[in-house]
Amino acid sequence: MKAVIFGCAGVQLTAEERAFFEDVQPWGFILFARNCESPAQIRALTEELRATIKRKDAPILIDQEGGRVARLKPPFWRARPPMDRFGALYEISPQKGKEAAFLGSRLMAEDLGRLGINVNCVPILDVPHEGAHDIIGDRALAKSAGDIAVLGGAVMAGSIAGGALPIIKHIPGHGRALADSHLELPIVDADLDHLRAVDFAPFKALNQAPMAMTAHVVYSAIDKTAPATVSGKLITQIIRGEIGFDGLLMSDDLSMKALQGSFAERSEAVLKAGCDMLLHCNGDMVEMQEIAGAAIALEGKAARRAEAALALLADRNQADFDQERQEAHYARLLEPVFPELTVSL
């Protein structure tokens, strides 16, 4: 098994993809909107993906945050609020804000489970900053690091209860970035004291998370040239050291323009820096072949972290869950900050 997660090109696998995945044996897969046509189609695709690698528990990821980052949308799936609505409700009532964050992520996880998806790339723990690029924006759970940590914990718990492993992102914090790392390399020049007090704080508070995704961001106070994803100094001293995260650490998407070099060079740099897992999302076969050539076997600490993450799903709450009743309760909770939700029920 290789320490890599791949996407695929369409709504079903091609013969070339099936042969490639069978040969490479990636740890898991990730789905995007291009892969999501209908519930029956997605269920068939997730079954096909797992069949190619002969692992029924293989992780299949998706970004289903709500708001503008949602791969599953109406008419087949309910519109979900952006994550900042939890923070807005938390300001009115901390109890209701936490309950909504837990329940909202549980409801999304229930949706995913019916499709065979068992990992959701939430919660975002990035702390938003005025004047920063809006790539984070309303995806942030709240305005302050403390509130984000509380609500992020609720999102994690709800997701696990619903059967979807959470991934905290973008460690150690994308909220100050003045650029979108999908398109260019952001450089954050804040001093280390400010980063520790604000940006790193939610990640440190939730360092027990099973998985985390790195930020393709340069933090010049720590490493003047290399973004976190490929900075051994930052991963060792900050993510594993000061933040204390010891779960499975994966790169953000290798095809993002913030990274440089060939795909083999990017993969090698990510692994050398200390990431456990490569992530490549766009389903481009030529790129995947190059990455597969550089990927390493999933073994040692990385394998143990991966096993520990998947083990959380075995312990999920199996109690009866009345989704329609909980959807109605969720809509009532969010009515003060997201009245649109009642329309979609």
Q: For residue 205, give the CATH number of its domain.
A: 3.20.20.300
Is the residue at 270 inside a domain?
yes
Q: Which domain holds residue 228?
A: 14-317
Is the residue at 342 inside a domain?
no
Is the residue at 230 inside a domain?
yes
Question: Could you tell me the two tokens for 95?
Answer: 């109890």
CB 230 within 8 A of CB 260: no
Residue type, 93: S
Is the residue at 341 inside a domain?
no
3-state secondary structure of 289: helix
Asked about 252 being catalytic, the answer comes back as: yes
Per residue in 183-214, pLDDT (tens digit) is: 899 999 999 999 999 999 999 999 999 999 99
Is the residue at 329 inside a domain?
no
CB 88 within 8 A of CB 137: no
| Total Cβ atoms within 10 A of residue 1 | 17
Above 60 in pLDDT, residue 345? no
Nearest to 165 by CA among 233, 122, 119, 124: 119
Question: Could you tell me the two tokens for 207?
Answer: 């360092």
| Per-residue model confidence (pLDDT) at position 221 | 97
3-state secondary structure of 233: helix
Q: Which of 63, 199, 252, 276 is an active site residue?
A: 252
Q: Which of 57, 182, 189, 194 is an active site residue?
A: 182
Predicted TM-score (pTM) of the model is 0.96
Q: Residue 213 and residue 270: Cα distance in Å, rounded?
A: 12
Is the residue at 8 inside a domain?
no
- Looking at the DSSP bridge assignments, the partners of residue 249 are 212
Question: Structural domain tally of the chain?
Answer: 1
CB 209 within 8 A of CB 244: no
Per residue in 134-184, pLDDT (tens digit) is: 999 999 999 999 999 999 999 999 999 999 999 999 999 999 998 989 989
Asked about 246 being catalytic, the answer comes back as: no
